[in-house]
């Protein structure tokens, strides 16, 4: 089984970083480095920068594009507070009982290892806890039971590709910025 290196575990004492979060963040940002057959993690990376979101929505698009905005204050208590290893243990316990793994968790620990790609993208990671349903379904169901909107979809209309690309270039949001290495 793939796991954090001994060096990452050693950083816990020195820096307080979560080795499992750092391991999964690295695999999410650099999936080619994943040593396992099934590539990836249960994390989905989002950005806190509108211009970076627009870059991804505009990249290689034909027709309409979309930027999804998530109001995390409307999601309730979804910020990860337990160490990732403990969350994975709980997920396994629930899976063995065929129980729901719960609503998505948002991972953005205060202490993280600086990583140029994640920093430039201002990444926040959302863990889709229950893989039996789509992340947007979970949030739409939650949203239907409360007054606040969690997800807002902003459409980039067809034919605006060049205008968006020009705007982003002027702001310095280029492929080299988003993918610095």
Per-residue pLDDT of the chain (181 residues; tens, 9 = 90+): 678 888 888 888 889 899 998 988 888 888 888 777 777 777 888 999 999 999 999 999 999 999 988 887 777 777 788 888 888 888 888 888 988 777 778 888 888 888 899 999 999 988 877 666 777 777 777 777 766 777 888 999 999 999 999 999 999 999 999 999 8
pTM for the full predicted model: 0.81
Residue 127, H or E segment: strand 123-127
Distance CA 177, CA 56 (A): 12
Q: Work out whether the CA dihedral 69, 71, 72, 74 comes out positive or negative.
A: negative
Residue pair 69/95 in contact (Cβ under 8 Å)? The answer is no
Helical ranges in the chain per DSSP H: 6-15, 19-29, 50-58, 84-96, 116-121, 135-144, 161-171, 175-178
pLDDT of residue 1: 66
C-beta contacts of 5-9 below 8 A and 24+ residues apart? none
pLDDT on residue 41: 76
Longest dimension (CA), the chain: 53
């Amino acid at each position: 089984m793939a796991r954090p290196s001994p060096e990452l575990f050693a950083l816990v004492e020195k820096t307080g970083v979560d080795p499992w979060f750092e391991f999964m963040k690295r695999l999410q940002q650099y999936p080619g480095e994943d040593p396992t057959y099934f590539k990836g993690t249960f994390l989905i990376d989002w950005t806190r920068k509108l211009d970076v979101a627009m870059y991804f929505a505009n990249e290689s698009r034909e027709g309409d594009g979309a930027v999804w905005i998530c109001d995390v204050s409307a999601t309730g208590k979804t910020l990860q507070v337990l160490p990732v290893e403990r969350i994975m243990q709980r997920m396994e316990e629930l899976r063995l009982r065929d129980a729901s793994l719960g609503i998505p968790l948002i991972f953005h620990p205060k202490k993280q290892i600086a990583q140029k790609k994640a920093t430039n993208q201002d990444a926040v990671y959302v863990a889709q806890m229950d893989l039996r349903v789509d992340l947007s379904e979970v949030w739409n169901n939650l949203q239907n039971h409360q007054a606040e909107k969690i997800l807002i979809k902003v459409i980039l209309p067809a034919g605006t590709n060049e205008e968006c690309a020009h705007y982003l270039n002027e702001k310095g949001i280029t492929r080299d910025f988003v993918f610095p290495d």
